[in-house]
A and B are shown apart, each in its own frame.
Chain A
Amino acid sequence: ETGVTQSPTHLIKTRGQQVTLRCSSQSGHNTVSWYQQALGQGPQFIFQYYREEENGRGNFPPRFSGLQFPNYSSELNVNALELDDSALYLCASSFGTDTYNEQFFGPGTRLTVL
C-alpha cells in the first residue's frame, strides 16, 4: 500500500508568480485535504475535495484553488504569490469525510516565495 505522496519536495518562486502543487492520495482514499503550515505554526486548513468536488474551505482567498481528479489525486494552485505564502503545504487523504476517518499526511511541499 502506497502512502500519500507530494511533489515537488521544494519549490522557489518569486512574488506574483503562480504555482501548482500535486498530491497522490493513499490507495483507496477518496478525500483529499490541503493544509498550509507556516514556520513555527500548526497546519491551517485550506480546503477539502471529496469525489472531485470541493467539500469545505478555510479562511483562504480565492487565489488558492484546487482540483481533484477521477483517480482522487489532487492539485493545489496558488496565483499571484505573496511573500506570506512561503510555507510547508501538506495534503492529507482519508476514506470519507467523517471525522473518525483518519487523515494520512504526506511529507509536504516546501514553498519559498522571494
Chain B
Amino acid sequence: QKEVEQDPGPLSVPEGAIVSLNCTYSNSAFQYFMWYRQYSRKGPELLMYTYSSGNKEDGRFTAQVDKSSKYISLFIRDSQPSDSATYLCAMSSQTGANNLFFGTGTRLTVIP
C-alpha cells in the first residue's frame, strides 16, 4: 500500500465549476500537508500549505485536512481554463530531512 493515495483522474470540468481533489494517507506521523500544481513540462509549484487538521482558504482555493480520517482535500471555486494542470498532494512528517511524500497527481482540464 502506498503511503499517499490520490485518484489520478483525469478530471474534466466546465469553466466555472467547483472542483474537488482528494488524497488519503496511511502514515499517522504526517503533520504537514501541501498541494502543488504542475503544468506540463514544468516543475511543481506550491499552491497551499496546511499544518495539522483544519481549513485554509486562499482566493479561489480551499484546503481541508481531516487527520482523524487521514483525508485531505483541495477545492477550487469558479474554475478557469488556466487551472488546467496536474495537482499533486504532498505531505511530510518532519523527521530528519523534510522530504515530501507525493500522491500520483490528478490531471485536471477546465473546458472554456
Contact = CB atoms under 8 A, between A and B. Distances in A.
Do A and B share a complex?
A: yes
Given A41-B104, A48-B99, A105 B43 contact: yes
A16 interface: no
A55 interface: yes
State which size class the interface on A falls in: 20 to 34
A35 B102 CA distance: 10
Interface string A42-55: 11110110100001
A48 B46 contact: no
A108 interface: yes
Interface in A88-108: 90, 92, 94, 97-108
B100 A45 contact: yes
A4 B105 contact: no
Given A94-B98, A105-B45, A42 B92 contact: no
A62 interface: no
Interface of A: 4, 33, 35, 40-45, 47-48, 50, 55-58, 90, 92, 94, 97-108
In the A-B complex, the 8 residue pairs with the closest CB atoms: A56-B97, A42-B102, A105-B43, A45-B99, A48-B97, A99-B98, A99-B32, A99-B94
